[in-house]
């Protein structure tokens, strides 16, 4: 599949929207500040590596745009630039676009429930997003230990619950091109669970 000028436009737009945003940072010596676009590029790469089409890749680039960078105004802009399907995928990946956001647990429970019945494109981008995030959480935990949980509203227990619940939700509606991706996510989450359990002994 060849990516067109639409994808290049989305890449520039995502870079502009998130230009001032950084990833949640561990507050520990040796931690580095990572531009948020690194996450968007990683999620998009995972989507493409698992058979994503151009609309799904564009949605991956912009999956956090509505939630983090403008709400309804940004949603309408994306719809005008990239179409209804891209917006529908982004909507399925967005756990809250209200300001202020609902409580963390309420948002995450709702999002997990919605993934169980979401269409395949939404589950593809969601799984790619969770895989990259879980890899980052695991890497930080292995380097920084318990201090790595401080930046998460759910803390250690809530974060572990959320990733395991996402694995279970994604398995509710299996699709051939998602099998390897969900398996990879399960492996990372399992490794994170084992690492934290070992540290608690």
Condensed to tens digits (0 to 9), the pLDDT of residues 49-84 reads 999 999 999 999 999 999 989 899 999 999 999 999
Cβ neighbours of residue 82 closer than 8 Å, sequence gap 6 or more:
6, 9, 10, 55, 58, 62
Out of 2-11, 70-79, 91-100, least confident range: 91-100
pTM, 2 dp:
0.94
Cβ-count burial 10-27 (b if 16+ within 10 Å, e if not): bbebbeebbeeeebbebe
Q: Tell me the per-residue pLDDT of 102-126, one tens digit each, with 9 for 90 and over.
A: 788 999 999 999 999 999 999 999 9
CATH of domain 5-200: 1.10.3210.10
Q: What DSSP line would sit under 69-111, residue for residue?
A: TTHHHHHHHHHHHH-HHHHHHHHHH-S--SSSPPPHHHHHHHH
pLDDT for position 200 = 73
Reduced to 3 states (helix: H, G, I; strand: E, B; else coil), residue 196 is helix
Q: What is the pLDDT of residue 201?
A: 60
State the alpha helices, DSSP H only, in 96-175: 104-116, 120-144, 155-170
Q: To which residue do tokens 């939404």 refer?
A: 122
Q: Average pLDDT of the chain?
A: 93
- HSE (CB half, 13 Å, CA atoms) of 144? 18
Q: What pLDDT is attached to residue 55?
A: 98
Domain ranges of the chain: 5-200
The single residue listed with the structure tokens 């989450």 is 189
Rounded distance between C-alpha atoms, residue 181 and residue 191, angstroms: 15
Lowest-pLDDT choice from 13-17, 169-173, 188-192: 169-173
In sequence order, what are the beta bridge partners of 22?
35
Q: Is the pLDDT of residue 99 over 80?
A: no
E strand or H helix that includes residue 117: none
């Amino acid at each position: 599949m060849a990516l067109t000028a639409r994808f290049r436009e989305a890449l520039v737009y995502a870079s502009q929207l998130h230009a001032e945003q950084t990833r949640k940072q561990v507050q520990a010596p040796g931690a580095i500040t990572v531009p948020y676009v690194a996450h968007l590029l990683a999620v998009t790469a995972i989507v493409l590596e698992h058979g994503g089409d151009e609309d799904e890749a564009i949605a991956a680039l912009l999956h956090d745009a509505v939630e983090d960078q403008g709400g309804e105004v940004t949603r309408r802009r994306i719809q005008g630039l990239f179409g209804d399907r891209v917006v529908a995928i982004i909507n399925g990946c967005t756990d809250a676009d209200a300001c202020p956001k609902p409580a963390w647990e309420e948002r995450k429970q709702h999002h997990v429930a919605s993934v169980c019945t979401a269409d395949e494109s939404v589950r593809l981008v969601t799984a790619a997003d969770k895989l990259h995030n879980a890899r980052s959480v695991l890497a930080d935990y292995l380097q920084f230990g318990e201090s790595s949980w401080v930046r998460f509203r759910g803390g250690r227990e809530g974060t572990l619950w959320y990733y395991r619940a996402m694995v279970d939700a994604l398995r509710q509606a299996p699709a051939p091109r998602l099998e390897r991706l969900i398996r990879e996510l399960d492996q990372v989450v399992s490794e994170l669970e084992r690492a934290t359990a070992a540290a608690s002994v």
